[in-house]
Structure 1
C-alpha cells in the first residue's frame, strides 16, 4: 500500500505546477488513464471476441435446434464451436476484472487514516473544496448540496448521468441490431434472460450510487474509468 501511495504522491508532485491544490485529484485521473491505457489491448481483444461471438450466433441457433432435447450435448457442442473458432466467452470480462485491484487500492488508500504507521497525508488533499477522503454524506452534513464541496459532487453526478445516458442509448441500439438469443431450443425461454435484457441498458446509471457512497478519490477513478469506457466502446464497437 505504501508503494501505491508513493506513486500517487509522485504523480501529484509532478502535476503540482499545473493543478496546484487539485494536483492529487489530477494525479488520480492520470493514474486511471494509465491503468485504462495498459488494459486497452485487452479491450480491443474483447471487442474482437464480441464480434466473433455475434458472428457465431446463427451456428449456435442451429446447435440449439439440433440438441434441443439434450442440454449437456448442447453445452459441449457450443464449447467445441468456441474452441474451434478460437473464441473465449470470458474475454469480455477481463478488462473489468483487471481494473478492480486499482479501484480497491484507491478506496482503501483514501479510507485509511494512516499508511505504514504514518499519518495519511493524502487525505488533506482536495478537489476544489471537497476533500478526497470525504464522501457525499459528509458534504450533505457540512455545507449541503449547493455548498462549495456539494457543487463538486453535482458536477460529477452530471458527468456520470451524461455518460450513463449515452451508454443507455447505445446499448439499446446494439441490442436492437443484435438481439440476444433468448431461447434454448424448441422455443424454450432461457430463465432470467428476458429480465436481464431489460435491466442491462440501465446498468450505467448504477455508477451514480457508487460515486455517492465511496470516497471522492475512488469516485474520481470510477468517473474517469466510466467515461473512458464509453468513448472506448463507441470507437471499438462502432
Structure 2
C-alpha cells in the first residue's frame, strides 16, 4: 500500500512539488543548474527557522536539568538500590519542576514529516499523476533522485556520485562528532543519576550518527536536507548554550 497515494497526503505532496518547482525557478538566476538543490537547502533553513522555539525549549530544558543535578544526585544516593523508586522519584522531580527529560528529541521528531515529504518528492517517477520533473534536477552532475545504496546496487554509481555523497556524509559525521563532544551530558545527567535523561541523551547522540547511515539510503535531495539540518542544529545549540548556560557541576 502506497501511503502517499492517500488523498490528503497526495494533495500535500502535490502542493510541495509545485512549491519546490516554483522556488527552483526563482533561484535559477542565482544558482543555475543547482537551483533545485538550493531550493532544498532553503526549505531546510525555513523549516529550522520555524522550529527555533522548540530549540529554545530544548536549551531551557537542558539548563533546568543541570540546575536539578544536585537533587538528582541526592535521589541516586537515597534510592540506588531501588531502580523503580529512583525512576518514579526522578520523574516526580521533573514533573514538579516542569522539566522534560526528552526535550532533546523534539526537533528531530518535528522534522520527520518534512523529511518524509522531501524523500517522496525525489523518490517517485510521478507526482499526482504527472511526471516528476524534479528527477531531472542535478547537483554536481548527480541527479537529486539518486540514492547511493541504490546506485551502487544497480551499478550506476559514478565518481561524482561517490564524491557528492561522500562530502555530505562526511559533513554529517564530523558535525555529529563535534556535537557529541560539545554537548556531552554532565555526570549528574547520565544514566546512573537520572535514568530517563540519560536515555534521552544517548538516543539523541545515536540519532546524530544514524543520520549518516540514513543518508546512504535516501535520495540525494533528502541527504542534502539531512546535512543542512545537522549543521544548523550544531550552530543553533552553540548559540543557545551561551544564552542558557548550564549550572556549574
With normalisation by structure 1, the TM-score equals 0.82
Pair 1:214-2:218 in alignment: yes
Q: Deviations over 1:21-79 (max 9, x none)?
A: 11010000000000000001110111101110121121122233344565555444333
Judge which range, 103-112 or 22-31, deviates more.
Answer: 103-112
How far apart are the structure 2 equivalents of 1:63 and 1:178? 14
- Summarize the Cα distance change of 1:165–1:63 in structure 2 as closer, same or farther, 3 Å threshold: closer
Aligned match of 2:231: 227
Pair 1:180-2:189 in alignment: yes
How far apart are the structure 2 equivalents of 1:180 and 1:165? 19
Judge which range, 11-20 or 207-216, deviates more.
Answer: 207-216
Would you say how many aligned residue pairs link Structure 1 and Structure 2? 226
Q: Among residues 111, 117, 127, which one is paired with 1:105 in the alignment?
A: 117
Judge which range, 161-170 or 17-26, deviates more.
Answer: 161-170
- Summarize the Cα distance change of 1:184–1:162 in structure 2 as closer, same or farther, 3 Å threshold: closer
Which segments of 5 or more consecutive residues in structure 2 lack a partner in the other structure? 1-12, 243-249
* Larger RCO (CA under 8 A, 6+ residues apart): 2
With normalisation by structure 2, the TM-score equals 0.79
Which segments of 5 or more consecutive residues in structure 1 lack a partner in the other structure? none
Aligned match of 2:51: 39
Pair 1:170-2:170 in alignment: no
Judge which range, 135-144 or 95-104, deviates more.
Answer: 135-144
Q: Is contact 2:123–2:219 with CA below 8 Å preserved after alignment? A: yes
How far apart are the structure 2 equivalents of 1:74 and 1:139? 50
How far apart are the structure 1 equivalents of 2:54 and 2:89? 27
CA RMSD across the alignment:
2.8
How far apart are the structure 1 equivalents of 2:188 and 2:82? 24
Q: Is contact 1:168–1:202 with CA below 8 Å preserved after alignment? A: no
Q: Deviations over 1:179-223 (max 9, x none)?
A: 5344369xxxx7xx79x96x9766533333222211001101100
Q: Deviations over 1:4-36 (max 9, x none)?
A: 111211211111110111101000000000000
Q: Is contact 2:36–2:137 with CA below 8 Å preserved after alignment? A: yes
Pair 1:57-2:69 in alignment: yes
How far apart are the structure 2 equivalents of 1:54 and 1:124? 50
Q: Is contact 1:211–1:219 with CA below 8 Å preserved after alignment? A: yes
